[in-house]
Amino acid sequence: MVTKVLGASYYLIASILFRRSSLFDAQWYELAYPALTKRDSIHHYLTKGATLGYNPSRLFDSQAYQKRYLANSPSSPDPLLHYLLIGRWRGFQKQPAEPSDADIIRDSGFFNDDWYYAAYPDVFASRIPALRHFMTFGWRENRSPGPEFNSTWYLNRYPHVIGQNPLLHFIKHGRGEGYLATPPTVDLDSARKVIEEVEDLDPEFYAANYGQDIANLEISTSMPRHRIALVFEKIISRLNKPPKIIVFVPWLKRGGADLLACHVARACVETFGLHSILVVLTDNDDRSGEHRLPDGVNVVSFSAIAPDLDESARVELVEALVRSLQPSAIINVNSRQCWEAIRRHGHRMVQFAQLYAMLFCPDYDSQGRRFGYSYEFLRPCLQFLAGVYFDNTTHLEDLKEQFAIPPDLQDRLVCLLQPAPPLIPPRLREDGDTRRPNILWAGRITRQKNIRLLLEILQNAQQFDFHIWGDTDDPTLMAALDDVARSRDYVFLNGKFDRFEDLPLPSYDVFLYTSLWDGLPNVLLEAAASGLPIVASESGGIAELVNDTTGWLVPPSHQAPGFIAALREATDNPETAYLRATAMQRRLIEHHNWKSYKTVLTQQPSATGGLLHG
């Protein structure tokens, strides 16, 4: 935080700059974030708001500026302050912020200041601006914003909206779904006249008062039902009862993140029972990894119900499910739609469930710049999250430092080491074994896995037989591997695999892992559990597992010769390889066991007790 680092004088300078700039609008800021501006708005922005990704006015989008110009800045400066001091002189571009909830209400025409003061004299006497009172207190007290919207009527008629601002719901969702903003008195008067004209046809009409309970009348406005509502109803119809935990994932492929979601599902089932959990696929209906879930877990897919649903609708469905099902907690494992829902609607979602997420590692573009969910969503969403679980401490600590996360929010970041599969004792290669060493490489064939380095190793290590398992969506990488395999009879491409344990593991001598960036990849845990000695890249959180006592860790600067030397040492010294593989399995037993995994999910973060708490 700037004020903690540079003190009151720095705050004074920043305050002067902000007051002279049209890019900080104190009135707008106080309306946009009414519950968080008890002190001076500039002071709040400098000490907390900028860190949380708040916008200083409608003219400046802090998150967009941060993402475009400051994503790789180690000091994480305040975006507006950076723009005023540096960015504008360098020609950096700013862009308007998305409308705040207060903007949306003001622009809708439904809020009437004079009507609000006249209807609620206590508000007038308090001298609180009418719209700010409504945003902070009024909607929670079922006060109406003007003559064209009746909050009490709306909540009585649509009780699933209770807990959120009814006018905002109507503007964003209800109006499009044909919801009514006020009692349909004109329609009811017309209906009464029709009934009076025909009541002689049936004496029961005489005793009926069809306008007595207006809120519960079914009223047709001849408007088509909204697509989101139809999809939502289909999802709800598939549930026997509301779940205790919802796990949001983009899909259920065979990848590492998908496996981590399956671990969460298993822990939930063991703790609360089979029907306590709902797994929601938000992006597509790829279920190639669904076999790793406990049998019988309820899985629903947005795409299976409505394949052409756009991203905005999927985001709204995430929020609607949380609001309506009201689980004890949800956890987001790599779902962009869930991240977006938390960013847009987190202030509402936290009223219905504790929100958790998992993060693993940064991604890098072709220019080496970091991006990914950690950099796009953690900063604006952390205020709403009860906890964020990381599979390694390296990425966790990097984010703490880069984003200058305040101590009270740092406690929400927790390292959750993933459990290893059942162990197969390492095998000691016999001294008289004269066969060529067999090296296993298995994983996704992507740029992240440093296929260029793998190719260089393959081209310069003729003393080994290499067995490559994996598939890819990148035809260029696959073509390069094909070329090497065709020209070298010691390289074997074996295609994709479903389960690591299905590979012919006893026939391999060493597991080779190459990577440009990483968290703590699950395939390393699988290889270690299988008893294979490991030679791996030093990237991301890998050094937390592989070191010179548990395997061979090759620094990035060593390139292919360093890997080839490590492979030679591992295969030329079978006793050393055996000892390191044995030490690795001791580490798995101590740190990557199922009991420890569930304990962390039950007890951390300590403030909330964790995802599985209660």
Please report, in angstroms and rounded to a whole number, the separation of the first and last CA atoms in the chain: 35
Q: What is the mean pLDDT of the chain?
A: 89
Pairing verdict, β 534-537 and 245-249 = unpaired
pLDDT, residue 439, reads 98
What angle (nearest 5°) sits at the alpha carbon of residue 426, between those of residues 440 and 463?
35
**Tokens representing residue 61 in the block:** 């989008």
The single-letter DSSP state of residue 257 is: H
Q: What is the model's pTM?
A: 0.67
pLDDT tens digits, residue range 68-116?
888 777 666 789 989 998 888 888 988 999 899 999 998 888 999 999 9
pLDDT, residue 531, reads 98
pLDDT tens digits, residue range 18-67?
888 889 998 899 888 876 645 678 888 888 888 888 999 999 999 899 88
pLDDT at residue 605 above 80?
yes
C-alpha–C-alpha distance, residues 598 and 581, integer Å = 26
Residue 5: pLDDT band with limits 50, 70, 90: very low
Residue 356 bridge partners (DSSP): 331, 387
Is the distance from CB of 295 to CB of 275 less than 8 angstroms?
no
pLDDT, residue 6, reads 45
3-state secondary structure of 367: coil
DSSP track, 391-453: S-HHHHHHHHHHTT--HHHHTTEEE-PPPPPPP----PPPTT--SPPEEEEES--SGGGTHHH
What is the side-by-side strand order in the sheet with 298-301? 298-301, 277-281, 245-249, 329-333, 354-359, 387-390, 413-415
pLDDT tens digits, residue range 108-147?
889 999 999 999 999 999 999 999 999 989 999 999 999 9
The Cβ of residue 174 has, within 10 Å, a number of other Cβ atoms equal to: 20
pLDDT, residue 223, reads 41
* Residues in contact with 252: Cβ distance below 8 Å, sequence separation at least 6, in sequence order: 258, 261, 262, 279, 281, 286, 287, 288, 289, 290, 292, 293, 299
Residue 489: pLDDT band with limits 50, 70, 90: very high
pLDDT, residue 8, reads 61
86, amino acid identity: I
pLDDT, residue 222, reads 44
Of the candidates 437, 391, 445, which has an alpha carbon nearest to the alpha carbon of residue 418?
Answer: 391
Residue 199: pLDDT band with limits 50, 70, 90: low
b/e per residue 449-464 (b: at least 16 CB within 10 A): bbbebbbbbbeebeeb
Residue 200: pLDDT band with limits 50, 70, 90: low
pLDDT at residue 221 above 50?
no
Residues 215-240, mean pLDDT to the nearest whole number: 68
Percent of the chain scoring above 90 in pLDDT: 63
What's the CATH number for 228-415? 3.40.50.2000
pLDDT tens digits, residue range 392-411?
999 999 999 999 999 989 99
Percent of the chain scoring above 70 in pLDDT: 90
Q: Annotate 54-114 with three-state secondary structure.
A: CCCECCECHHHHHHHHCCCCCCCCCHHHHHHHCHHHHCCCCCCCCCCHHHHHHHHCCCCHH
pLDDT, residue 16, reads 84
pLDDT at residue 206 above 50?
no
pLDDT, residue 602, reads 97
In the chain, which segments carry CATH 3.40.50.2000? 228-415, 438-592
pLDDT, residue 201, reads 54
592-598: Cβ within 8 A, 24+ apart: 592/417, 592/418, 592/419, 592/420, 592/525, 593/419, 593/420, 594/419, 596/417, 596/419, 597/263, 597/267, 597/416, 597/417, 597/418, 597/419, 598/267, 598/270, 598/271
Residue 365: pLDDT band with limits 50, 70, 90: confident
Q: Find out whether the peptide bond into 605 is cis, omega within 30 degrees of 0.
A: yes
Asked if CATH classification 3.40.50.2000 holds for the domain at 438-592, the reply, yes or no, is yes
pLDDT tens digits, residue range 533-565?
999 999 999 999 999 999 999 998 889 999 999
